[in-house]
Structure 1
Amino acid sequence: MTAADASPSGSTLAEAEAFLAAHPEIEAFDIVLHDANGIGRGKIIRRHELLSFYKSGRHLPISILGLDIVGEDVHETGLIWDQGDGDLRAWPIPGTLVPLHNTTPPRGEVFMSMYTLDGVKMTSDPRHALQRQVDALAAEGLHPAGAFELEFFLLDNDRGPDGKMQPARDVLDGRKSRKTEVYSVDHLHGMMPLFNDIYAGAKAAGITAETMISEYAPGQYELTLHYRTDVMQAADDVVRLKRIVRAQARAHGVTACFMAKPNEDYAGSGMHFHVSMLDDAGKNVFVEPVEGQWNPTLLHALGGLRDTMAESMLVFAPHANSWRRFASQSYAPVSPSWGVNNRSVALRIPAGDIRARRIEHRPSGVDANPYLVAATVLAGIRHGLANRIDPGPETTGNGYEDGPDHAGIPSDWKSAIDAARASAFLKDALGEDMHRTFTAIKAAEYQRVMRTVSEVDFDLYLHTV
């Protein structure tokens, strides 16, 4: 690799050569770029093509970052014919080359990021949006650490007689349960063959997947991830783990569902983001000197997140279905509240050792893009620290008593789109190009939903109006 062709991502040919030597069994590689919706787009290349990818990158059309949820062009992004749909160059991300578990023939996977042909960051790439906030904090002597929680449903491939999705039968013995089964350990046993493959896939990918929980709806589960001192790696962990869960579920004959709200009668699926802040010496700056006497840095961070939550909700709830998750007493927040050891608030300070003091950011659904979520949360914290924002009084007891009428956040998807498009904060948080791309895609998806005649239309109006 010549200096002129050096990878702008920092990837090296030596990494690819070492991987191929260590994994002679692998025949192909998924090369994956994540778009504004967090969807993995790319190609499957053969083993002999990997070195050339690391030497020269891979040409991909600029339009790949201007696609909606179904993969169609959104011309309002300015990334389609305004650019002649020309090629840019994607480069592998260092440290993301891993083997995939349970594939035939054996395959590997590597993440990539988009650059111009002359090596400049393509700023409609969500990874670059997050890196921009990480770099801004580093210039201020701060380094974010964190982890995401992953909630999901395991569903039967076929719908029930009522046309609705139904919880998957146990892959162990075919047993079915329609009960909530929250925190039932015995209920988890029926899915252990699948969970074992998920853990094996995570281990192969270098992800420390931890606790598995039967969550608060039939067929719903939660998998926690090890805390990272690098939030980019934390975002990589959760997008990769979603792919692992989906693939292993499919291999076991069930469907993994990452919709925010697949069942109107039960709780939806969140993607809570735990975040703390380290100084240059590695000390957690959120830790209070005396337990319970809150550190002003922590309070200002909470204040910034509260102050910017309304205009940021489109990032945390990006789809039409996302907004069905927000309901009173649903374990999803309905106001920009904060509290200690309280799951009814949007910003929770978990109980535990003060050395691990952190903020649990709870608004995001599992359908959100973790790169954009993390970028927006970090920008909100920076905003709070720079302006020394008071978060207001702590919410104690039932945070749902504030109610959606006093929420201070948009009440629906369209309002969230309008708030995001008008937000100077969000434009700065994501960068101008990523902000334009993301909001244009969301506006196009809104129009797609609104012009679609759904079953609920026929149910309500066919024999009535």
Structure 2
Amino acid sequence: MTRSHAAPDASSLPAEDLRTLASLPDCEHVDLLLPDMNGLLRGKRIVRAALEKVYADGVCLPMSLIATDITGNTVEETGLGYDIGDEDRICRPVPGSLRAVPWTPRPGAQLLLAMEDGHGGTFEANPREVLRRVLARFAERGLTPVVAVELEFYLFDQRAGADGRPRPTINPSTGRRNSSTQVYSMEDLDDYRGFTDAVAAACRAQDIPADTAVAEYAPGQFEINLKHRDDALLACDDAVYLKRAIKAVAQQQGAQASFMAKPLAGQAGSGMHIHVSLLDGEGRNVFAPAHEDAPADALRHAVGGLQRSLDDCLLLFAPHANSYRRFVLNAFVPLNDAWGYNNRTVAMRIPHSDARNTRIEHRIAGADANVYLVTAAVLAGMLHGLEHRFDPGPPVAGNAYAQTEVRTPHWRQAIADFMASEFVQAQFGERFRHIYGQQKLKEMHSFYTEVTDLEYAWYLRSV
């Protein structure tokens, strides 16, 4: 017998969310999700009957949740812990973000939250709010960014190897562990059809506009692309829900999906590529070239802004210790600030397309980064370039690794550059710069207090 649930008061829910809820008559619970600065989802699970109260009054969560470190501990240096008595803040639903959770044994839904600042406004350091403020500046100029997100990830066995390290999954078709690399292999996609079909079904149930899956450059590595949106906030919401769906489906099938930037030393890293075009008030793409042989000035200036803001924002693109292991030579990872057409060796690629779809593909961020903050940094850099009409120099044709100075970034320097950045302060606010910078500084200090197995292997006996 189907269990009936009391419907929340229609006056409390936005029309779009009310329609979603009506399409889920058997929904028993709702996950309330607050993405933190690391992109981890924190929050609460409530019964369906409590949803109306959440829309009407919000739900309280500790303010420190926004900036907990990667291990889930409060970072006292942010000023959000003991200094303020670990205060709660009201978190309210993001209108239109209610979506199904199709993989749980009992039907459920999920809902994004936005944290308030204690005075009725949105907390300025909330990652989604950081992006919203950048978008507001585009709107003031009569411009609308069109954004698409690409995410790479690995599928591993749920059980680690004897050495404690991740192992490739057993191929469902061959019965053997994957060991070869067949980029864009249709055979690999066929072998993992059960997984990709289940992810596709989860996306349809959640209205996530995923349209492409490919096998990438390493055993068990895949990429799933999202369709473009003319609402960058929704494009990032899609990515958050997609990541959650991929992890849940993998777990159901006895695997573990990882978005680590560099989980395997000898294999390709996983990136997060952000595609952006820019529409004016008439719906025209301002990046479209006026002449066949010359890039639009707006495109050149936007690339110039991305070049000049790269060092300031690198910590947003590469937030973790492991992020920097991805930056190795000849791995299709940018080690420069170059740009070029149809060229995967540069940081800012202009993909092959017709003029109407001319866009910038920003290739620096790892899949481990927070999609809201990455997109905010990309858009802020572009806007900075448009406002100051920066010149990016000529596009690079051919191998950019051989034509540019190879830069090997480091976590410590990225943190220092971020915390001293006037650009970050101006674009995202001093409070965000302080909280995010202190979070990463604490993580770095914690990371370097650990003694690794390699140190024992190298030094314990020999020195």
- Length-normalised TM-score, structure 1: 0.94
Give the whole-Å Cα distance in 2 for the aligned partners of 1:460 and 1:44.
Answer: 47
| Aligned-pair CA distance for 1:14 | 4.9
Cα displacement string for residues 257-287 of structure 1 (whole angstroms, at most 9, x for unaligned residues): 1100011101100000001111112111100
Instruction: Indicate the residue corresponding to 1:451 in structure 2.
Output: 449
Cα displacement string for residues 346-386 of structure 1 (whole angstroms, at most 9, x for unaligned residues): 00000111110000000000001110111111111111111
Cα displacement string for residues 113-146 of structure 1 (whole angstroms, at most 9, x for unaligned residues): 1113442111110010000000011001111111
Instruction: Indicate the residue corresponding to 1:206 in structure 2.
Output: 207
Give the whole-Å Cα distance in 1 for the aligned partners of 2:17 and 2:401.
Answer: 51
1:345 aligns with 2:346: yes
Structure 1: gaps spanning 5 or more residues = 1-9
1:157 aligns with 2:158: yes
Bigger mean CA offset, 344-353 vs 188-197? 188-197
What secondary structure sits across from 2:272 in the alignment? coil
What secondary structure sits across from 2:74 in the alignment? coil
Instruction: Indicate the residue corresponding to 2:7 in structure 1.
Output: none
| Aligned-pair CA distance for 1:436 | 1.2
Work out whether residues 215 and 222 of structure 2, in 8 Å CA contact, stay in contact via their aligned partners in 1.
yes
Bigger mean CA offset, 120-129 vs 152-161? 152-161
What secondary structure sits across from 2:344 in the alignment? coil
Instruction: Indicate the residue corresponding to 1:425 in structure 2.
Output: 423
| Aligned-pair CA distance for 1:341 | 0.6
Instruction: Indicate the residue corresponding to 2:412 in structure 1.
Output: 414
| Aligned-pair CA distance for 1:457 | 1.1
Instruction: Indicate the residue corresponding to 2:263 in structure 1.
Output: 262
Cα displacement string for residues 20-76 of structure 1 (whole angstroms, at most 9, x for unaligned residues): 333121100111011111111101111111111111111111111120011101011
Work out whether residues 16 and 54 of structure 1, in 8 Å CA contact, stay in contact via their aligned partners in 2.
no
Bigger mean CA offset, 393-402 vs 271-280? 393-402
| Aligned-pair CA distance for 1:162 | 4.6
| Aligned-pair CA distance for 1:331 | 0.8
Bigger mean CA offset, 87-96 vs 423-432? 423-432
Give the whole-Å Cα distance in 1 for the aligned partners of 2:178 and 2:20.
Answer: 43
Work out whether residues 288 and 295 of structure 1, in 8 Å CA contact, stay in contact via their aligned partners in 2.
yes
Q: How does 1:74-89 map to 2 (within 5 A)?
A: 74-89=75-90
Cα displacement string for residues 228-282 of structure 1 (whole angstroms, at most 9, x for unaligned residues): 1111111111111010000000000001011000111011000000011111121
Letter in 2 for 1:229: D
Give the whole-Å Cα distance in 1 for the aligned partners of 2:394 and 2:294.
Answer: 14
Instruction: Indicate the residue corresponding to 2:184 in structure 1.
Output: 183
Q: How does 1:61-460 map to 2 (within 5 A)?
A: 61-171=62-172, 174-402=175-403, 406-407=405-406, 411-460=409-458
Give the whole-Å Cα distance in 2 for the aligned partners of 1:206 and 1:249.
Answer: 19
Give the whole-Å Cα distance in 2 for the aligned partners of 1:440 and 1:172.
Answer: 47
Give the whole-Å Cα distance in 2 for the aligned partners of 1:254 and 1:22.
Answer: 30
Work out whether residues 12 and 56 of structure 2, in 8 Å CA contact, stay in contact via their aligned partners in 1.
no
Give the whole-Å Cα distance in 2 for the aligned partners of 1:217 and 1:22.
Answer: 40
1:13/1:394 CA distance change after superposition, 3 Å? closer
Work out whether residues 66 and 75 of structure 1, in 8 Å CA contact, stay in contact via their aligned partners in 2.
no
What secondary structure sits across from 1:360 in the alignment? strand
Letter in 2 for 1:415: Q
Give the whole-Å Cα distance in 1 for the aligned partners of 2:119 and 2:17.
Answer: 22
What secondary structure sits across from 1:272 in the alignment? strand
1:286/1:163 CA distance change after superposition, 3 Å? same
| Aligned-pair CA distance for 1:458 | 1.0
1:291/1:421 CA distance change after superposition, 3 Å? same
Work out whether residues 329 and 400 of structure 1, in 8 Å CA contact, stay in contact via their aligned partners in 2.
yes
Work out whether residues 13 and 52 of structure 2, in 8 Å CA contact, stay in contact via their aligned partners in 1.
no
| Aligned-pair CA distance for 1:177 | 1.9
Letter in 2 for 1:427: Q
| Aligned-pair CA distance for 1:82 | 2.2
Cα displacement string for residues 209-236 of structure 1 (whole angstroms, at most 9, x for unaligned residues): 1111110011100111111111111111
Bigger mean CA offset, 54-63 vs 425-434? 425-434
What secondary structure sits across from 1:204 in the alignment? helix
Letter in 2 for 1:230: D
Give the whole-Å Cα distance in 1 for the aligned partners of 2:191 and 2:65.
Answer: 40
What secondary structure sits across from 2:214 in the alignment? strand
Give the whole-Å Cα distance in 2 for the aligned partners of 1:22 and 1:227.
Answer: 25
Work out whether residues 114 and 122 of structure 1, in 8 Å CA contact, stay in contact via their aligned partners in 2.
yes
Work out whether residues 172 and 192 of structure 1, in 8 Å CA contact, stay in contact via their aligned partners in 2.
no
What secondary structure sits across from 2:222 in the alignment? strand
Question: What percent identity do the matched residue pairs reach?
Answer: 42
Q: How many correspondences in the alignment?
A: 453
Structure 2: gaps spanning 5 or more residues = 1-10
Give the whole-Å Cα distance in 1 for the aligned partners of 2:456 and 2:12.
Answer: 54
Q: RMSD of aligned C-alpha atoms?
A: 1.6
Give the whole-Å Cα distance in 1 for the aligned partners of 2:40 and 2:167.
Answer: 25
Give the whole-Å Cα distance in 2 for the aligned partners of 1:48 and 1:172.
Answer: 44
Letter in 2 for 1:73: T
| Aligned-pair CA distance for 1:16 | 4.8
What secondary structure sits across from 1:73 in the alignment? coil
Work out whether residues 342 and 350 of structure 2, in 8 Å CA contact, stay in contact via their aligned partners in 1.
yes
Work out whether residues 146 and 228 of structure 2, in 8 Å CA contact, stay in contact via their aligned partners in 1.
yes
Letter in 1 for 2:52: L
| Aligned-pair CA distance for 1:174 | 3.5
Work out whether residues 334 and 364 of structure 2, in 8 Å CA contact, stay in contact via their aligned partners in 1.
yes
1:40 aligns with 2:73: no
Cα displacement string for residues 93-114 of structure 1 (whole angstroms, at most 9, x for unaligned residues): 1111011112111111111111
Letter in 1 for 2:108: R
Give the whole-Å Cα distance in 1 for the aligned partners of 2:77 and 2:306.
Answer: 29
Give the whole-Å Cα distance in 2 for the aligned partners of 1:11 and 1:356.
Answer: 39
Give the whole-Å Cα distance in 2 for the aligned partners of 1:184 and 1:105.
Answer: 36
Letter in 1 for 2:444: Y
Bigger mean CA offset, 164-173 vs 70-79? 164-173
Work out whether residues 17 and 51 of structure 1, in 8 Å CA contact, stay in contact via their aligned partners in 2.
no
1:62/1:218 CA distance change after superposition, 3 Å? same
Give the whole-Å Cα distance in 1 for the aligned partners of 2:431 and 2:149.
Answer: 26
Cα displacement string for residues 298-332 of structure 1 (whole angstroms, at most 9, x for unaligned residues): 00000000111112111100000000000111111
